[in-house]
Structure formats: structure tokens, C-alpha cells
Amino acid sequence: MGRYILARLLLNLLVLLAVASLVFLALRLSPGGALEAASQGVQGDPEQARQAARRSLGLDRPLWEQYWDYMSGLARGELGDSFRTRSPVAQEIRERIGPSFELGLLQLAVALLVGVPLGVVTAVRRDTWPDYVLRVTAVLFLGVPSFVLAIFVLLFSARYLGWTPPITTYRDLAPLPPFDTPAPEDPWLNLQVMALPALIGGLGTAAIVMRFLRAQMLEVLRQDYVRMALAKGLPGRLVVLRHALRNALLPVLTLAGLALGTLAAGNVVLESIFLIPGLGLYAVNGVRQNDFPVVQGMTVLVASFLVFVNLLTDLAYAWLDPRVRYA
């Protein structure tokens, strides 16, 4: 196991090195948009402003020097300064990662708490009316875009419940990293803001979890060891939960790992609708405004988070399935 972890860590470092190198080359191969964005707000002749921006970005130096400075800056945790705000990108990411991280965790919790029990129910009650109703509902949630569902939920909540989330007054959940942002702290108000987007985003993922788990449970329930356990007189609930469910959770674990890996990217649609100051909207604005340091920093951040979560997911396989061995 130790040798496998070491090999995976080295492989992940190579992957991150490749991602960082591709991001570095992207700016150098097509620097036009970045130069225009960097030269905004500079007084004087536009061409002189572009040349000043080229010097500020270091594009007038040899390529190997630029690459060395870029990689050494990444090693120190420096991601450059935003063209639009003139602030360090690493600092802006730290101020925005908390809301995105919290929203993603809440969505994942909703997905697992709803999807796993319903997946078990639809498999055990196969071809009965609960199975049909839940499968149709899952297809409905998969087919309706999250922004459409968010609008309908907001309209229903405002008209029939007389309540809407306080989306214009975001507050922090706790004074602890990574949840602390420049906003004041108010856990109750924070949960009010996060409740609906977590529910909306989580139900879409729960539909996928339910369908994956149902298919896997149906396959596991037909295995000989499950039939043998039932033939020995073990309670059906014990057989389903202890034997069948544990082996059927492997594809769900993969899906949860992928969902967890996207936490660093944020949720663009729901963050925009509910005015959550997270990373999703920050990255989209960076692309729209040709703010290359922002795009560059977000790409490296998401890649780092994904390779780390994938490693944790692979290690969790051995805990769920003792037959998994790592060379």
C-alpha cells in the first residue's frame, strides 16, 4: 500500500506539472487577450500600454526564464495578480473557496442521504409502484436543468410559503478556514442562503446516485453469496445492508469522488442565481474578461484538487472491498 501511494503521488505531481506547463504555454502562444486585459486602465498610447503590459507579464524575456519564474512562483503558492482587481489571485481564491466548498459539501450530503436509500428501495422493491414512481422522478430531475428548477423553487417558495432566502446578505458559516471570508459571521443566515441551492444541486446528483446504485444492487442481489446468506436464514435487511449494499457502493464511491473533485470549481449557475460569492462565478468572470491569471490559477487549483480526490477515492476502494489489492 505504501509503495502504491508513493507511486500515485509521483504520478499526480507529473500530472500537475503537465497541467501547469500547458497553462503556461497557452498564454505565450496566444497572448493577445491577456495583453489587452493587462493594458486596460493604462493612460497613453495603446501600443505603449501593450508594450508595458508585455514587460509586466515578462513576455519580453527568454521563454526558459519565464517558465522558471512561473514554476517557482507556483511552488511558493503564488498565482500572480488579477488584471481586473490588481489583487493576488491566491488571496482572492482563499476568500471565495469557502462558499463553494460549503455548497459542494451540502449538495454531496443531500445526494448521498437521498440517493443511497432510494437506490436500495428501488432495487429491493423492483418492478413495484414505488420503483416506477422513483425512477420517473429521477429521470425528471435529470432532465430539468438546475437553473430552471431553481427558478421554480424560488417562485413556489415566495408565492406559497411566503419565504425567500436572504440571497443579498451572504454571511459566513464559521470563523474557520476555509469557510471564513470577508463577510460577517452568521451561521443561521448562512444556512438559509445555502439551503435551497444545496437542495436543488443535491437532488440532481441524487438521481444519478439512485440509478447507479439500483443497477449495481440488482446485480449484487443475484450473486450466489447473497442467496446463500438468505438461505441460511439471515434477516433480509441484514443481508441487504451488510453484504449487498457494501459491495454495490463502489460505483457510487466513484461518482461521489467525481462530485467532490468539482468542489474547487464551484457551481456557476446556482452561485449566480443565489448570489453566492464562490469560485464558479469568479472563474467565469475571469474567462469573460480575459483575466488570464485568474483562469490560470483556477485551472491549477481544480487540477490539484481532482488528483488529490482521485487518490482518496482509490484508497477507499480497499476499505469497501477487501478483494482490492494495490501492488
Number of helices and strands (H, E) in the chain?
14, 0
* CB-based contacts of 67, cutoff 8 Å, min separation 6: 21, 24
Render pLDDT for 23-53 as a digit per residue (tens, 0 to 9): 888 766 665 556 665 666 555 566 666 677 6
State which amino acid sits at residue 309: V
Helices (H), 144-186: 146-156
Average pLDDT for the chain: 80
Return d(Cα 38, Cα 82) in angstroms, integer.
Answer: 9
Cα separations in angstroms, 20 against 7, 75, 80, 150: 20, 11, 13, 36
Q: 166 with 158: CB under 8 angstroms?
A: no
Return d(Cα 118, Cα 207) in angstroms, integer.
Answer: 9
Q: Is the dihedral of CA 165, 166, 167, 171 positive or negative?
A: negative
Say yes or no to pLDDT of 147 above 70.
yes
Render pLDDT for 247-256 as a digit per residue (tens, 0 to 9): 788 778 777 7
Q: 297 with 90: CB under 8 angstroms?
A: yes
What pLDDT is stored for residue 49 in this prediction? Answer: 65
**Domain locations in the chain?**
2-75, 91-320
Enter the pTM of the model: 0.79
The yes/no answer on whether domain 91-320 falls in CATH 2.70.210.12 is: no
Locate 139 and state its grid cell: 429521470
- Worst-scoring range by mean pLDDT, 164-168, 210-214, 308-312, 318-322? 318-322
Higher pLDDT pick, 259 / 223: 223
Cα separations in angstroms, 143 against 100, 199, 272: 24, 16, 21
What pLDDT is stored for residue 110 in this prediction? Answer: 92
Cβ neighbour number for residue 14 with a 10 Å cutoff: 11
